[in-house]
Chain A
Amino acid sequence: MSTSSQSKWASTAPFKHLPESDGAGASGARTCACSLSRPLRRRTPGVIVAGVLLLVAGFGPPAAAQLPTYGVGRPPTVEEVKAWDLTIPPDGQGLPEGSGTAALGKPIYAGRCASCHGDKGEDPKYRVLTGGRRTLTAAELPKNVDWLLGGEPALTIGSFWQYATTLWSYINRAQPFDEPGSLRADEVYAVTAYLLYLNGVIGENDVIDAKTLPRVKMPNRDGFVPDARPDVGKTARTRKR
């Protein structure tokens, strides 16, 4: 993509030498009720000055516009960020309060998960969730076109997944398939604990919460390597024509 046309517009640097007072009057109507307004105000000169230039050019930015060059956008509220910021990284940042154990998770799993995944996560219909340890080097040929759904190697939570936080995050956001996002935090912790227990990763009464979940070391935690391509077909060869 050609970025040359936008590069001169994308930087606020050309506006920074302009006096701050020019912008203050133009943003007199600016109100920002959200709690993010404080750090924002410290940075307002560039925003306001850019806004003034756009006003001069005929584009009136709304109050509190967040794109300094183009005068559009607004800051999110804390609630808006909280409602969507659901992806949990390996360090567990963003995990909510609550907790669960495998014992508590068993009946929840039975009611909400087992119809698709089997009583113990063994049903290959929509991906096997359990078992499969020590099958990653299995040389067995695929049993069907979509062997991922059955056969070996079996890439399950216990045999393959790197992080327990991924499990929590995905269940919380996307499961059950027909009612995504419908489990409460305690239920997600409990179902996560049950699946970790079924995979032999934790004990039946181990408490899983925001502190303990990131500390769970998955059996295949160190089973991943970086991309090594191009590893095949690298060289342009001279061939007989």
Chain B
Amino acid sequence: MNPSAQQPERPSPSRRRFIKHGIALGAALAAGRAAPAHAQLPPAPDDPSRVVGGPMLPYGERSRFEEALREKGPPSMPDEWGGNFTPLGEMLGTITPSALHYEVCRGGVPTIDPKKHRLLIHGMVDRPLILTIEEIRRLPSASRILFLECAGNTRSEWAAPMAPSVQFTHGLTSCSEWTGVALSLLLREAGARKNASWIVAEGADATGNERSIPMAKAMDDVLVAYGQNGEALRPGNGYPLRLIVPGWEGNINTKWLRRIKVVDSPYMTRMESPDHTSLMPDGKARQFLFVMEAKSVITFPSGAQRLPGLGFYEIKGLAWSGRGLVRRVEVSADGGKTWRDAKLQAPLLRFAHARFRLDWRWDGREAVLQSRCTDETGYVQPTLAELVKVRGVNTIYHNNAIQSWKVAADGNVHNVHV
């Protein structure tokens, strides 16, 4: 599908000015946060062109007026356990800033000295080996823009609309440029044996996060990554070394990678048996659900945001598919009765977030906004009712249902099931 095929209706310039003003006001009202850190700093000058500015910094910070933050959940668990949700409603474009990339930890974020860190590759290989980070960085490298999504993203939404905002319904997905070495290169160099059918990857964190990965995927497109968005990985995202497994559930993208064992059967680790299995209505659980199926969500307008008045708004959102390219995103403003094609931001990349946009005029009446994506395999993102009919409400993982946001007559946006 040609992303530019859909020509949006353009608002008049005067109308656009009004709208821009209105959205800014709405954002300010919606923010409603605790006093920001810049409260102690001198106020910004009325005319910044009349005073000398501040010094340039060796390592940059965002403007003191920017306040988007990750938020950790669930609150019942210790700070070292759970998810740190990306504020998708405040993200622009397709790349997630490294400082706001989602994280999931079950034993805290380890502090790892890269000079001491080692990668061990052993098991069914002809040449078991230990590599330092410095040695890994000498090897032929590649960079790819890829999304990650926790298998449990949107898990709160199976039975009822529970989370107030897109940060908590969908914030366990992010998209970065990852740089590293092809795992296939390391496995070939180590002499992985022909009868080996799986690898077990292990992290150096307190839980020793372990996952079994089929050899076919390991030899296909997996990266042993040390770079994220042009610099080293962030600690919460695996510093100094992690696996990036394109399109597959977040947990298998082993962070703090220190060991790869080449084996001939899955090891049934804690994170693949019992966790990351999905219980079906008949009491059986599906296992090894690797691929993240096509999914999309509107990030504006979305839950807990507020439209300040009638008129023009650009509906914005993200779409992605673990099976490759997003081909099409449709948007409905009437709860799924009618659909319009959204514009897709080029270039579209396989296994990356795609930004979609659609011009929309709010007439002040209640509206239910939805997005639905189709990927390169022809797979169409299902409704929640379609998913629940087959899988029930107890499967926890892999909820890729169409999300509904209700714009109430007062402009407030709510998470709803329709």
Contacts and interface: CB of A to CB of B under 8 A. Distances in A.
A11 B185 CA distance: 9
B184 A3 contact: yes
A76 B120 contact: yes
A224 B382 contact: no
Given A139-B392, A241-B340, A232 B142 contact: no
A227 B268 CA distance: 15
Which has the most chain B C-beta neighbours within 10 Å: A1, A9, A149, A163?
A1
Nearest to B168: A145
B285 A223 contact: yes
Contacts of A177: 78, 81, 107, 206
Given A84-B202, A236-B378, A162 B128 contact: no
A146 B76 contact: yes
B111 interface: no
Contacts of A233: 293-294, 379-382, 386-387, 400
Given A142-B158, A223-B283, A226-B287, A1 B392 contact: no
A61 B305 CA distance: 58
A225 B77 contact: no
Interface string A203-241: 000000000000000000001111111111111110111
A125 B76 CA distance: 8
B202 A161 contact: no
Interface in B265-324: 265-270, 273-274, 277, 279-291, 293-294
B127 A225 contact: no
Given A87-B269, A89-B267, A177-B107, A155 B274 contact: yes
A166 B267 CA distance: 8
Contacts of A170: 207, 269-270
Contacts of B381: 233
Given A73-B129, A230-B293, A232-B386, A180 B268 contact: no
A36 interface: yes
Nearest to A84: B259
A240 B334 CA distance: 13
B360 interface: no
A38 to B, nearest CB: 13
User: Chain A interface: which size bin?
Assistant: 35 or more
Which has the most chain A C-beta neighbours within 10 Å: B142, B188, B378?
B188
Given A1-B221, A84-B202, A180-B206, A145 B163 contact: yes
A115 to B, nearest CB: 13
Chain B contact residues: helix, strand, loop or mixed: loop
Contacts of A223: 283-285
Contacts of A5: 140, 142
A161 B201 CA distance: 21
Which has the most chain B C-beta neighbours within 10 Å: A86, A225, A240?
A225
A2 B268 contact: no
B397 to A, nearest CB: 11
Contacts of A47: 127
B274 A162 contact: yes
B288 A141 contact: no
Interface string A129-164: 000000011110110011011000101000011110
Contact of B246 (A1, A6, A138, A228): A1
B258 interface: yes
Contacts of A224: 273, 277, 284-287
Nearest to B258: A84
Contacts of A85: 122, 259, 261
Contacts of B223: 1
Contacts of A227: 286-291
B188 A10 contact: yes
Contacts of A239: 339
B394 interface: yes
A27 interface: no
B10 to A, nearest CB: 21
Contact of A225 (B186, B286, B293): B286
B156 interface: yes
A229 to B, nearest CB: 6
Interface in A85-116: 85-90
Interface of B: 74, 76-78, 81, 106-107, 120, 122, 126-131, 135, 138-140, 142, 144, 156, 158-160, 162-163, 182, 184-186, 188-191, 200, 202, 206-208, 210, 221, 223, 246, 258-259, 261, 263, 265-270, 273-274, 277, 279-291, 293-294, 338-340, 374, 378-382, 386-387, 389-394, 396, 398, 400
9 contacts: A6-B185, A75-B128, A87-B210, A173-B207, A224-B286, A225-B287, A233-B381, A240-B338, A241-B338
Given A2-B142, A87-B269, A227-B287, 16 more contacts: A1-B182, A3-B184, A6-B140, A10-B189, A36-B128, A67-B186, A69-B189, A72-B135, A87-B208, A142-B159, A148-B396, A153-B394, A223-B285, A232-B387, A233-B386, A235-B378
The 9 closest A-B pairs by CB, nearest first: A233-B382, A66-B129, A136-B283, A236-B378, A72-B135, A170-B270, A174-B207, A73-B129, A137-B283
